[in-house]
Structure 1
Amino acid sequence: MTTTTPLTIGILSFAHTHAASYARILSAMPDVEVLGTDPGPYDPGTVRGAGFAAEHGVTYVEDVASLLAKAPDAVVICAENTAHRELTELATVAGAHVLCEKPLATSDTDAAAMVAAADASGVILMTAYPVRFASAFTDLVARVRAGQLGEIYSILGTNNGKMPLAQRSWFTDPTRSGGGALVDHVVHVADLIDALLGEPAQEVHAVTNRILRADAGVGVETGGVVSVRYPSGVIATIDCSWSQPESAPTWGGLTLEVHGTAGSVRIDPFAAHVSGYDAGGELWAGFGADLDARMIDEFLDAVRTGRAPQPDGAVGARTLAVVTAAQRSVASGLPVPL
C-alpha cells in the first residue's frame, strides 16, 4: 500500500484570482490540511477573508504570524505582488517551503532577496507558472531538443486577458501590483522561453500604451509589446495586452510560436474547450489537464522528497528581470541590456 506524507499547507492571502483554484485543489487532497489567512485590503463586492475560506474548505487563521506559528510544511503566497518579498521572508524564517504567485516580486532587488532567504533557510522557493506544465509545451520542448525545428531564430508569444477591474482592482494599482499588463502577462511567456532556450535574456525593448479602458482612469499600462534578444541570436516578441473584452466567454489565452531553420510550431495550451450558448449568453468550458493541479503536484512532491522543483525562484528572478528591463525601456524609449 502506497502512502504519502501528510502535509499542512498555508495560503497567505486570497488576493490573487488563482487562490480559489489552489484552495480547491489542496482542500480536495486527503493527505493535506489547508490553512489560510487573508489580511486585506479587500476590493468592494469580493468574497475574501473568512468567507472565502469557508467557501473553499480552508481552515481560517486570523493573521500571518498565527498561521506560521502553526508550523506549516509549506505556504502558497497569493498576495498582491508588492507583498511577496515580506511574506516569503517571514515564511522562510519559519522554515516553510514557498510557492509564490507570479511575478516573483516587483523589483530585481526583492527577487534576489527572496531567493537568498530561501537558500539561507534551506527551503524551496518555487514560482507559480502553471503553463509550464501544459502537454503542448512539454511536447514543443521535446521537439526543439530533438532538433526537429533546426536552429531557432524567432519566437512570438501572446498573453492577452481581460482587464482585472471588477473584483481584483489591485492589479491596476501600481502601489500593489508594480505595474499593469507588462507585469501581469509578460512573465508567463518569458518563463516558457526561458525553459525552451535555457539562456537568460540579453536585451529588452518595450513599448506600451493606456488606450484600453482609458475611460476608467486606469493608472497602469493596458497594452504592450516587448522584444527580447537572447545571446544565441533568438529574437522573441511578446504581446502582453489586457485586450479581451468583458463580454468575452473566457479570461483570455496564451500562445507561443517557435520558428526554426527546419520548421515552425505554434501551441495554444488553452485551446481545448467546448463552447455554445444558453439563456445567459455565450458559454466556454475548457477541458483536459488542470495545469494548476499539475503545478501543485510538482510543488508538493518536491516538499515531500526534498528535491528542487521547477520553475524555481531563480527562474522567477530571471523572468522578472525581463519585465523590469521592459519598464526601463518604456521609460527611456531605448533598448535596455540585462
Structure 2
Amino acid sequence: MKVAVLSFAHVHAATYLRLLHDRSDVELITADPDAEPGDPTRGKALADELGVTYRSSYEEVLAERPRAVIVTSENTRHRQLVEQAAAAGAHILCEKPLATTEPDARTMIEACSTAGVSLMTAYPVRFHPAFTALRHSLTGGSLGRLLAVHGINNSTPPALERSWFADPTLSGGGAIMDHTVHIADLLDVLLDGEQPTHVYAVANSHLAPGHDDAAGDVETAGLITLTYPSGLVATIDCSWSHPATHPTWGGLTLTCVTEQALLEFDAFPPLLTGYDTESATPRWEPGTIDLDAAMLNTFLTAARTGQHAHPDGESGLRTLKTVRAAYRSLHTGQPATLTDPIREVDGHESRTGR
C-alpha cells in the first residue's frame, strides 16, 4: 500500500518515517518542501538519512495517488494539506491538534466526508493497554462514580527542536495548544464524548529561562480546570516544564478518583534508569509498548479496508473545543463555555466583543 508523509515539521515525523520504512506492506513516499534550505533535520536531508523516497512537492506526492497520507506539518498548515490529501482520495492521519481553530477543523472534517475518506487524529496514548484496563475498571461499576480526574502531560519545550512551536502564527499557541489535547482525548474516551460545561485556564511563559527561542510569544505553562454536567471536575497540567537535561522528553499520567478507589495511569513508566556517559546525563528507558506503532497499525488497517478510523476528526474537534475555550478563559480571566460565541479575527478565533 502506498503511504505518504506530508511535511517533516513535527517532532513526531521522523518516528513515523522510521516505523513506516520498516514495514514490508508499505511503499513510502514523502515531501517536505517548506523546510528551510540546508536544514539537516528536515527535507531531503532527513529523507536521505532515513533512506525514504522523497519528492520535491506535495502535489508531486499526491499525483502518485497514495492510499493513505500522514500530515505532520506545523499546526496551522494542517487544514491545507488535509484538504489536498482528501481531494486526492487518500485516507488521512493528521497530527494533533487537528487544527488551531474550530472553523478549520470543521472544514477538514467536511472535506474528508465529501471525498469519502477517513480522517483520523493522532492520539496514540488511547492505544495504551494500561489505559484500556483503566477504562474497563471505571466502566465495570464496582468502583462507583468517577468524581475527579487529574491529568499531567509535561515535556521539554518542543521549540528547542522545532522553533515554530514558539511562533503562534504556525503553532496556534503554546503549551495549552500542544499538551491539553492528549489528556482531553483520554477524558473524551472515559466520558464517552461528554463535553465540559465550563473551562478555566491560567498560564504563564516563565518556564524557558535562558531559552528565548523556546518561549517566543506563547505560553510555556498552563493549568486547565474542566467541570462536567455530572459534577465531575478534571484538571490538566499541560506545561513545558522539563529542562533540556531531563532524562526523557516528558511524560503523561492520569489519576482518577472514584467513590471507592484511586486509580493511576502512567503512559511512560520508567523501566530502567541509569547514566549516559556520552551525554553526561541520567537516562530513563520507558517501560511501555510503542504507542506510535500501535496507532499507525490501526490507521493503516482502516485505510486498507476502508473502515472508519478512530480517533476520528470529530474526536479531534471535541478536544480542540476544550483548547479554544481555555484560550477564551485566559483572555477574560473567567471560566468559558464551549458554546461561547466566537468570531474570526485575522484568521484566529476570538470571543465575541474582543
TM-score normalized with structure 1 length: 0.95
- Tell me which residue corresponds to 1:39: 33
Distance 2:165 2:47 in 1: 22
**Contact 2:39 2:45 survives alignment (8 Å):** no
- Tell me which residue corresponds to 1:256: 254
Cα 1:59–1:283 change in 2 (3 A) is same
Name the stretch that deviates more: 188-197 or 56-65.
Answer: 56-65
CA deviation map 1:32-77 (0-9, x unaligned): 0010000224398542111111222320011001100000001000
5 Å matches for 1:175-214? Answer: 175-198=169-192, 199-214=194-209
**Contact 2:11 2:161 survives alignment (8 Å):** no
Choose from 227, 235, 238 the match for 2:236.
238
5 Å matches for 1:99-248? Answer: 99-198=93-192, 199-217=194-212, 218-248=216-246
TM-score normalized with structure 2 length: 0.91
- Tell me which residue corresponds to 1:271: 269
Matched, 1:53 2:47: yes
5 Å matches for 1:301-316? Answer: 301-316=301-316
- Tell me which residue corresponds to 1:4: none
What is the CA distance between 1:279 and its match in structure 2?
2.0
What is the CA distance between 1:240 and its match in structure 2?
0.5
Equivalent pairs: percent with the same residue? 48
Unaligned runs of 5+ in 1: 1-6
Cα 1:47–1:170 change in 2 (3 A) is same
Distance 2:333 2:81 in 1: 34
Cα 1:157–1:43 change in 2 (3 A) is farther
- Number of paired residues? 332
What is the CA distance between 1:215 and its match in structure 2?
4.5
Unaligned runs of 5+ in 2: 339-354
- Tell me which residue corresponds to 1:288: 288
Q: CA RMSD in A?
A: 1.4
CA deviation map 1:271-293 (0-9, x unaligned): 04211014232222224310000
**Contact 2:2 2:66 survives alignment (8 Å):** yes
Cα 1:43–1:138 change in 2 (3 A) is farther
Distance 2:290 2:227 in 1: 32
Moved runs in structure 1, 4+ residues, more than 4 A? 43-46
Name the stretch that deviates more: 197-206 or 177-186.
Answer: 197-206
**Contact 2:227 2:233 survives alignment (8 Å):** yes
Distance 1:162 1:306 in 2: 37
AA at the equivalent of 2:108: M
AA at the equivalent of 2:255: E
SS of residue in 2 equivalent to 1:116: helix
Choose from 85, 96, 102 the match for 1:91.
85
